[in-house]
Amino acid sequence: MRASSYTPCIAWRIALIAATLTVGACDAVNELVNSGGDAEVHHYVSLGTSLSVGIQPNSSGVLLPTNDGYADQLFASIKPAFDAAGTQARDLQLTKLGCPGETLDDMTNGGNCPYLAGSQLDAAVDFLAANTGMVYLVTIDMGGNDFRNAGCIGTTVDLNCVNAVSAQISTDLAAVLATLRNAAGPDTTIVGMNYYNPYLAAWLLQDAAGQTLAVESAQAVGVLNDFLGTTFTTEGMPLADVAAVFQSDDFTTIVQSSQPPPNELLPVSVNNICELTYMCDPVVGPDIHANSAGYSRIADTFAAVLP
């Protein structure tokens, strides 16, 4: 990480704007993975932000959609067993409807990505209606961009802002989830996720302010994740606890890192952000997106809560 240029909110914003400009058109983000054949077709629909699209920077730092995101890796892991189950041949297909930079308002009313239906939520509802009874799984990550846009975390943390924004995210997300449930019906599994904490990379600044920001950001992102967890639970939907898997709150466990001096030893929470995202990458970072290993960890977390 280039400590001299690191500002958490700015880094996150630049990453998502670049991703939006790179992906742009609906054809790029609304991806159908079809294995073909005469089997009975079932669907896995991925909704959400750039994480659902699998955005990663290339070697030049250009943010691009990939087929290595958590939705792709989850799909690859569940498809063989799904296709083999049942009394007749089945074919699970993946449809990715996510959009980089998407907020809950964008998802409902339209935003960065063009959808023929008008918005990501409209596109999802249309897809669910057109495939009634044949949608096995819907995954969704939403709220992270709303939280980032609010600017509650900068060089310090404004917890009053954090609580107010998280409460609004919960209200808006609940409406989205209710719409999805009504469109999907009771038999479709809808699973959400909470968020890892990219602000933990401030720890690498190796000064009191950076480490204080990292610790306080963990409290702030924890508030958001608590609201997300309550929202999904209230709607009767499982939650992939990505924050727990990334050990986002653990500043006690110290591990050997691959970072250069003076960061050879780091709290496991900070080390995981460095190892599983591009936040500490000296070439293409800081960038909030998960790397392939990070997306794999998220996919495994989703898989663990599927019925």
Q: What are 11-55's pLDDT values in tens digits?
A: 333 344 444 434 433 433 444 554 455 789 999 999 999 999 999
Type of residue at 135? V
**What does the pLDDT read at residue 152?**
97
Per-residue pLDDT averaged across 84-101, rounded?
A: 94
**What does the pLDDT read at residue 257?**
96
Residues 70, 290: Cα–Cα separation, whole Å: 9
pLDDT (tens digit, 9 = 90+) per residue, 180-232? Answer: 999 999 999 999 999 999 999 999 987 899 999 999 999 999 999 999 999 99
3-state secondary structure the chain: CCHHHCCHHHHHHHHHHHHHHHHCCHHHHCEEECCCCCCEEEEEEEEECHHHHCCEECCCCCEECCCCCHHHHHHHHHHHHHHHCCCCCEEEEEEECCCCCCCHHHHHHCCCCCCCCCCHHHHHHHHHHHCCCCEEEEEEECCHHHHHHCCCECCCECHHHHHHHHHHHHHHHHHHHHHHHHHHCCCCEEEEECCCCHHHHHHHHCCHHHHHHHHHHHHHHHHHHHHHHHHHHHCCCCEECHHHHCCCCCCCCEEECCCCCCCCEEEHHHHHHHHHEECCCCCCCCEEEECHHHHHHHHHHHHHCCC
**What does the pLDDT read at residue 88?**
87
User: Domains (ranges, CATH) in the chain?
Assistant: 3-298 (3.40.50.1110)
Q: Identify the residue whose tokens are 């449809």.
A: 95
- To the nearest 10 degrees (0 to 180), the angle between helices 292-304 and 268-276 is 110
Type of residue at 80? P
Per-residue pLDDT averaged across 51-71, rounded?
A: 97
Percent of the chain surpassing pLDDT 90? 85
- Does 297 have pLDDT greater than 60? yes
**What does the pLDDT read at residue 39?**
85
pLDDT (tens digit, 9 = 90+) per residue, 154-168? Answer: 999 999 999 999 999
- Does 173 have pLDDT greater than 90? yes
**What does the pLDDT read at residue 100?**
97
Per-residue pLDDT averaged across 61-71, rounded?
A: 97
Residues 166, 143: Cα–Cα separation, whole Å: 8
Per-residue pLDDT averaged across 261-280, rounded?
A: 97
Average pLDDT, the chain: 90
Per-residue pLDDT averaged across 107-127, rounded?
A: 97
- Does 133 have pLDDT greater than 70? yes
